[in-house]
């Protein structure tokens, strides 16, 4: 375990000790697993399952289906928000021994911390499920020392959402799957009109196509590989779109206004959106996001000069772990296997694409847009979301990602030049490499 992980766990433990000393309950904590089962007098087992998807986007229907078929093992879904504060809440609850039997992980570094602190069961202790056989070879990216501490359940990827009506009006065809960042910039420039942005994306996506070039090769010959020419040209391209073409929001404006990029796109205030499949839960919500335009899809553009095997960040996600402190591990495992091969289908309407090979992709596509077929370009959806594009799971360490974004922000805010930015990223990364030796 790295020093940073020890520091994280020690700090969290100290916080819990302080909190328990002030709580007035003599340090007692709720029993993990099965809490709420009528004080042990009832034969009904209760499993508590934490996840980040809003209840109305699938979990309510999923839990109902399970509970009706399994009266002796009832599941309660607890929603936590998948952000820093929400993940801290989950981590604190796990260490405190609260009643959590299963929980969903949305980033590998988060699951890694929980594995290191003893908060995730090694699934090799259980049997009856061929993870790689059902989920594919990409499941291996979620292993730790050759073992699985969570079951991947969803195929996740990033792509570009397109307002096809605006593309048609501008005389632009749908992009090819191998389009470049320069192509994106040209499209955005043409599509920018009056108060309409050509392109918007969440701030974490500024590094996606750079990392698709690196594919986790952050270190080369013992030194930082983050100052490579392709990374440099990608940053410069984003800067020009913001400050010269003005075809996308300036970074400072986006941060200051907390711009809801998905809402901007769905309201027709932006012609293209960089995001992922989770946007379907809003795109299909015509009550809050009424629209009459058709949505088409394109791949994440590769940086100019990218390697031939450029890949898009994605792969398997929504990795569900079992709490080792659960009193009902076997029951939790039975539910998890059902969820992976059947229950996850209920989550499709919220944009979750099941990873299990036991679930037909045609059925998934139909459920994604059920009732809204006329508002989507089906050919581009099939090509982009259900095509054979290669993906990879990003394993950039959180500390490295943070320092990189700090420097990128200075550049986008005009606080530093491109040269200074690239040099500072490499310098700070090399210092990090030296400390970890």
Per DSSP, the residues of 10-73 read HHHHHHHHHHHHHSSSTT--PPSSSTTSGGGTSS-EEEEEEESS-GGGTHHHHHHHHHHH-TTE
pLDDT, greater one: 64 or 399:
64
Provide mean pLDDT across the span 354-362. 92
Q: What is the pLDDT of residue 41?
A: 52
Q: Please give the CATH architecture assigned to the domain spanning 157-312+392-436.
A: 3-Layer(aba) Sandwich (3.40)
CA dihedral in degrees (413, 414, 417, 423; nearest 10)? Answer: -20
- Tell me the two tokens of residue 251: 């970074």
Burial class of residue 238 in the structure, from the number of CB atoms within 10 Å of its CB (0-12 exposed, 13-18 middle, 19+ buried): buried
Q: Is the pTM of this model over 0.95?
A: no
Domain boundary assignment for the chain: 3-153+318-378, 157-312+392-436
Q: What distance in Å separates the CA atoms of residue 221 and residue 295, rounded to the nearest whole number?
A: 44
272 SS3 class: strand
d(CA 265, CA 188): 13
Q: Give per-residue pLDDT as tens, 77-119.
A: 999 999 889 999 999 999 999 999 999 999 888 999 999 999 9
Q: How far apart are the first and last CA of the chain?
A: 13
**pLDDT higher than threshold 60 for residue 1:** no
Closest of 380, 364, 353 to residue 296, by C-alpha: 380
What pLDDT was estimated at residue 83? 87
- Cβ contacts of residue 274 below 8 Å, gap of 6+? 158, 159, 160, 161, 199, 200, 201, 202, 205, 208, 261, 300
Widest Cα–Cα separation across the chain: 71
Beta partners for 224?
219
Query: Is the pLDDT reported for residue 152 higher than 70?
Result: yes
| Digit-coded pLDDT (tens) for 46-59 | 999 999 999 999 99
For residue 115, what are its two tokens?
Answer: 């594995």
Task: Choose the CATH number for 3-153+318-378 among 3.40.190.10, 3.30.450.20, 3.40.50.1820, 3.30.950.10.
Answer: 3.40.190.10
* pLDDT confidence bin for 42, thresholds 50/70/90: low
Percent of the chain with pLDDT over 90: 71
Q: For residue 127, what pLDDT band results from cuts at 50, 70 and 90?
A: confident
Query: What does the pLDDT read at residue 216?
Result: 83
Average pLDDT, whole number, for the chain?
A: 88
Q: Please report, rounded to a whole number, the percentage of residues in the chain having pLDDT higher than 70.
A: 90
**Residue 70: per-residue pLDDT:** 98
More reliable by pLDDT, 41 or 113 = 113
Tell me the per-residue pLDDT of 155-202, one tens digit each, with 9 for 90 and over.
988 899 999 999 999 999 999 999 999 999 999 999 998 789 999 999
Residue 266 pLDDT > 50 = yes
pLDDT at 349: 86
Higher-confidence position of 20 and 361:
361
Domains 3-153+318-378 and 157-312+392-436 share a fold: yes
Return the number of other C-beta atoms located less than 10 Å from residue 209's C-beta. 27
For range 263-284, the mean pLDDT: 94
pLDDT, mean of residues 238-260: 96
Choice among 10-14, 320-324, 382-386 with the minimum mean pLDDT: 10-14
Handedness of CA 164, 170, 176, 177 (dihedral sign): negative
CA 222, CA 206: separation in Å to the nearest integer? Answer: 25
- For the segment 40-67, the average pLDDT, to the nearest whole number, is 91
**Is the confidence at residue 315, as pLDDT, over 90?**
no
Contacts of 303 (CB under 8 A, 6+ apart): 180, 181, 209, 210, 212, 213, 230, 231, 233, 234, 237, 310
pLDDT category of residue 76 using cuts at 50, 70 and 90:
very high
Separation between Cα atoms, residue 247 and residue 234, nearest integer Å: 16
């Amino acid at each position: 375990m790295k020093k940073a992980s020890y520091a994280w766990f020690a700090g969290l433990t100290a916080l819990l000790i302080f909190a328990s000393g002030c709580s007035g309950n003599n340090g007692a904590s709720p029993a993990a697993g099965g809490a709420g089962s009528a004080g042990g007098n009832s034969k009904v087992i209760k499993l508590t399952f934490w996840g980040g998807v809003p209840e109305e986007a699938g979990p309510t229907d999923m839990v109902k289906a399970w509970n009706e078929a399994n009266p002796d093992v009832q599941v309660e879904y607890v929603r936590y928000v998948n952000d820093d504060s929400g993940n801290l809440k989950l981590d604190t609850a796990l260490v405190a021994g609260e009643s959590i039997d299963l929980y969903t992980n949305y980033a590998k570094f988060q699951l890694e911390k929980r594995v290191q602190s003893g908060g995730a069961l090694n699934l090799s202790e259980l049997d009856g499920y061929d993870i790689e056989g059902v989920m594919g070879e990409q499941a291996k990216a979620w292993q730790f020392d050759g073992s699985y501490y969570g079951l991947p359940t969803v195929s996740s990827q990033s792509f570009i959402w397109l307002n096809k009506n605006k593309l048609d009006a501008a005389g632009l065809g749908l992009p090819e799957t191998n389009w470049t960042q320069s192509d994106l910039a040209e499209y955005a420039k043409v599509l920018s009109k009056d108060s309409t942005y050509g392109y918007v994306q969440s701030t974490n996506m500024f590094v996606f196509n750079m990392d698709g070039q690196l594919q986790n090769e952050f270190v080369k010959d013992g030194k930082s590989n983050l100052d490579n020419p392709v990374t440099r040209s990608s940053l410069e391209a984003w800067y020009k779109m913001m400050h010269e073409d003005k075809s996308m929001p300036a970074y400072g404006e986006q941060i200051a206004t907390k711009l809801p990029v998905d809402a901007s796109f769905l309201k027709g205030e932006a012609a293209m959106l960089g995001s992922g499949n989770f946007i379907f839960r809003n795109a299909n919500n015509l009550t809050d996001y009424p629209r009459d335009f058709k949505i088409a899809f394109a791949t994440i553009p590769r940086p100019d000069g990218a390697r031939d095997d450029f890949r898009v960040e994605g792969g398997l996600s929504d990795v569900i772990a079992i709490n080792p402190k659960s009193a009902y591990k076997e029951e939790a495992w039975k539910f998890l296997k059902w969820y992976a091969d059947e229950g996850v289908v209920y989550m499709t309407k919220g944009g979750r694409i099941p990873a299990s090979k036991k679930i037909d992709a045609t059925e998934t596509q139909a459920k994604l847009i059920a009732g809204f077929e006329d508002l989507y370009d089906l050919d581009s959806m099939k090509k982009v979301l259900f095509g054979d594009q290669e993906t990879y799971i990003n394993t950039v360490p959180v500390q490295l990602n943070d320092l990189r974004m700090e420097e990128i922000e200075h550049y986008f805010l005009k606080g530093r030049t491109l040269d200074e930015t690239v040099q500072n990223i490499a310098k700070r990364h090399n210092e990090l490499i030296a400390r970890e030796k």
